[in-house]
Amino acid sequence: MTDIAKFEELSQEAVSKHRSLWGDVWIQFRKHKGALTGVFVFSFITLAVFIGPYIHDIDPSAINFKKRNLGPTLSHPLGTDNIGHDTLAQMLAGGQVSLAVGFLAMMIALILGTMIGILAGFIKSLDGPLMRLTDLFLALPILPLLLVIILLFRDTLRTLYGPEAGIFMLIVFVIGITSWMHTARIVRSDVLGIKEREFVTAAYSIGTRKSRIIFRHILPNILSPIMVSATLGIANAIITESALSFLGLGFPPDFPTWGRLLYDGANFIQITPSRVIWPGLFIALTVLSVNYIGDGLRDALDPRLRGR
């Protein structure tokens, strides 16, 4: 016992100063160079997209046939397209939509997937039905399903919330409910492993309620796969949205999103390659930075990796 006391004394300085959980997380997060770069790039993109239009105040839908297919000039830093839209203005306006769609759709998929995964893993009688439901969703051909849903509900939502807000909600919802399955499967398998661990039995023996066991003991221990699917989910949602827009079932054609700009620009790749490069670059940068942030956050939230 005395040896331990001595050992404790030696390491006291590390202990005595007050440490808060989020303080620790931040200290560890700062050590992850990739994650810091990710935060920087992602906040730059977000700021540019939401504040940029106030600085570069050309209307993204203004058409100017005299200035078609321009290269970079002072008044049009990224040039113009074949009907004289300003590419930068379109990029900024499209970024707002793409980021919002990506984020919200990812959140819906994440919450749904985590919930279904935890219920399936934790409650034995729900495991079979919920996993078969997941298989069902995985087996459904997603694109035709999306098309049918959008065709069915587009007009109702348009009349209710206006053409843009209506279609925005529809797209976010549709992408969300068709991409939760992988998260659910991964979460379930992790829950199955964690719930047999002795610390969960210990929690039962203490008399901890089931809901608290889920939130206090199981959820924090399955954070890493959730983080990973979250970062991948954003990318997926941005790409799916552009595919929908390309098929003419997403946002109206004059409403820019990164995916839409990419597909529109693809036809003109030989005349103005920058119309493809910029949206592609920004999608890639967003996905990459979110991925790195997720990576850093996952490491920082794991106490075993902290302090290394």
Partner 1 sequence: MKKVTNKSLLKVDRLVKHFPITKGIFRKKVGSVKAVDGISFEIKERETLGLVGESGCGKSTTGRLILQLLPATAGKVFFKDHELNSIGSADLRKQRLQMQMIFQDPQDSLNPRMTVGSIISEPMIEHQRLDRLQRHERVEQLLNSVGLDPKVTNRYPHEFSGGQRQRIGIARALALSPDFIVCDEPIAALDVSIQAQVINLLEDLQEEFGLTYLFISHDLSMIRHIASRVAVMYLGRIVELASSQELYSRPVHPYTKALLSAVPLHDPVLEKKRKRIILIGDVPSPANPPSGCHFSTRCPVAENNCFKTAPEWREISSGHNVACHLV
CB of 200: closest distance to partner 1 in angstroms? 8
Contact 99/49 with Cβ under 8 angstroms? yes
Under DSSP, is residue 80 helix (H, G, I), strand (E, B) or coil?
strand
If one asks whether residue 123 binds partner 1 (CB under 8 A), the answer comes out as no
- Locate 218 and state its tokens: 């199981």
The single residue among 71, 129, 193, 220 that binds partner 1, judged by CB under 8 A, is 220
For partner 1, which stretch binds (CB under 8 A), given 45-53, 81-89, 203-211, 281-289? 203-211
If one asks whether residue 211 binds partner 1 (CB under 8 A), the answer comes out as no
If one asks whether residue 74 binds partner 1 (CB under 8 A), the answer comes out as no
Contact 58/249 with Cβ under 8 angstroms? no
**Type of residue at 1:** M
Instruction: Please tell me the distance from the alpha carbon of residue 78 to that of residue 179, in angstroms, as a whole number.
Output: 34
If one asks whether residue 5 binds partner 1 (CB under 8 A), the answer comes out as yes
The single residue among 139, 141, 207, 211 that binds partner 1, judged by CB under 8 A, is 207
DSSP string over 177-220: HTS-HHHHHHHHHHHHHHTTSHHHHHHHHHT--HHHIIIIIIGG
If one asks whether residue 18 binds partner 1 (CB under 8 A), the answer comes out as yes
The single residue among 30, 33, 132, 197 that binds partner 1, judged by CB under 8 A, is 197
Q: Which of residues 169-188 bind partner 1 (CB under 8 A)?
A: none
If one asks whether residue 132 binds partner 1 (CB under 8 A), the answer comes out as no
If one asks whether residue 224 binds partner 1 (CB under 8 A), the answer comes out as no
To 10 degrees, what angle do helices 163-177 and 223-246 make? 130
Instruction: Please tell me the distance from the alpha carbon of residue 139 to that of residue 19, in angstroms, as a whole number.
Output: 48
Which chain residues interact with partner 1 by CB under 8 A? Answer: 1, 4-5, 8-9, 12, 15-16, 18-19, 21, 197-199, 201-209, 212, 216-217, 220-221, 301-304, 306
